[in-house]
């Protein structure tokens, strides 16, 4: 015959197992609720991506009809930038560095350009420039104030150099101050940039020839 003490111990064990079972069931239910929430969020994300893919399909169809894909073969980053922008895959832009309180108009054009390179690193990339948004001067004026003519002078040191002009290819993506897609370079804009580049190279060659001529004249005088 089982003693009362053993019966009490058995009852305590059964109670413990029952409590553990209830706890495990509660945890399982909580995890199920979490998974259902994650699943709902994933469905929502899938729906968003499907909408963006449809938008991307429309954009690509439009560019196909305009004959621009040929330019993407030479500038594939333009296509990738449009895809990232349409699908929302761009990383958050870094917070602009806090510049000391100063009068930007008091800076030289070169100093102001250096300031922009630090404050807007996704737009101003002197090592590998990409076309800027049409009207970027207005965006800079709205962000910083000051005199528009001084903004133009500083911009000239960035957009009127050979490296930047070479980036102006038909179909290339234009960037706003945050590095977002702000349109594409047209064939007419690319042609004008090539003309400017040719003029700069021609002027550079004329200066080289003049320097060689001056050197020869100097040598003749010294004889």
Paired residues of 181 in beta bridges: 175
The DSSP H or E segment spanning 174 is strand 173-175
Per-residue pLDDT tens for 137-196?
999 999 999 999 999 999 999 999 999 999 999 989 999 999 999 999 999 999 999 999
13 assigned to some structural domain: no
**96: Cβ–Cβ under 8 A, 6 or more apart, which residues?**
119, 120
Percent of the chain with pLDDT over 90: 37
Handedness of CA 31, 34, 40, 43 (dihedral sign): negative
Residue 71 pLDDT > 60: no
106 assigned to some structural domain: yes
153 assigned to some structural domain: yes
14 assigned to some structural domain: no
Tell me which of 110 and 10 has the higher pLDDT.
110
Q: Are 117 and 154 in contact (CB under 8 A)?
A: no
Q: What is the count of structural domains for the chain?
A: 1
In terms of residue numbers, what domain contains 186?
101-222
pLDDT band with cut points at 50, 70 and 90 for residue 98? very low
159 assigned to some structural domain: yes
Give the least confident one: 4-8, 79-83, 152-156.
79-83
59 assigned to some structural domain: no
128 assigned to some structural domain: yes
User: For position 48, what pLDDT does the model report?
Assistant: 77
Distance of CA 24 to the CA centre of its chain: 48
pLDDT band with cut points at 50, 70 and 90 for residue 100? very low
Tell me which of 101 and 53 has the higher pLDDT.
53
The domain that holds 188 is classified in CATH as 1.10.1710.10
What is the pTM (predicted TM-score) of this model? 0.54
Q: Are 105 and 146 in contact (CB under 8 A)?
A: yes
User: For position 39, what pLDDT does the model report?
Assistant: 79
56 assigned to some structural domain: no
What is the distance between the alpha carbons of residues 102 and 144, in angstroms, rounded to a whole number? Answer: 11
Residues 57-81: what's their mean pLDDT?
Answer: 60
Per-residue pLDDT tens for 104-145?
899 999 999 999 999 999 999 988 899 999 999 999 999 999
User: For position 12, what pLDDT does the model report?
Assistant: 72
């Amino acid at each position: 015959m089982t003693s009362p003490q053993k019966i009490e111990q058995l009852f305590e064990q059964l109670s413990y197992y029952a409590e553990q079972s209830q706890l495990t069931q509660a945890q399982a239910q909580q995890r199920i609720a979490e998974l259902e929430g994650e699943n709902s969020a994933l469905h929502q994300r899938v729906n968003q991506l499907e909408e963006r893919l449809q938008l991307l399909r429309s954009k690509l169809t439009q560019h196909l009809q305009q004959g621009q894909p040929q330019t993407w073969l030479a500038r594939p980053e333009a296509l990738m930038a449009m895809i990232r922008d349409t699908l929302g895959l761009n990383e958050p832009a870094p917070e602009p560095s806090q510049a000391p309180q100063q009068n930007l108009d008091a800076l030289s054009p070169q100093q102001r350009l250096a300031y922009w390179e630090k404050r807007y690193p996704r737009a101003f990339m002197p090592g590998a420039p990409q076309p800027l948004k049409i009207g970027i001067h207005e965006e800079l004026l709205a962000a910083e104030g000051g005199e528009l003519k001084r903004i133009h002078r500083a911009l000239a040191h960035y957009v009127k150099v050979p490296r930047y002009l070479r980036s102006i290819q038909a179909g290339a993506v234009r960037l706003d101050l945050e590095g977002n897609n702000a349109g594409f370079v047209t064939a007419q804009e690319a042609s004008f940039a090539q003309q400017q580049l040719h003029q700069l190279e021609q002027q550079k060659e004329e200066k080289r020839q003049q320097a060689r001529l001056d050197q020869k004249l100097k040598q003749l005088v010294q004889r």
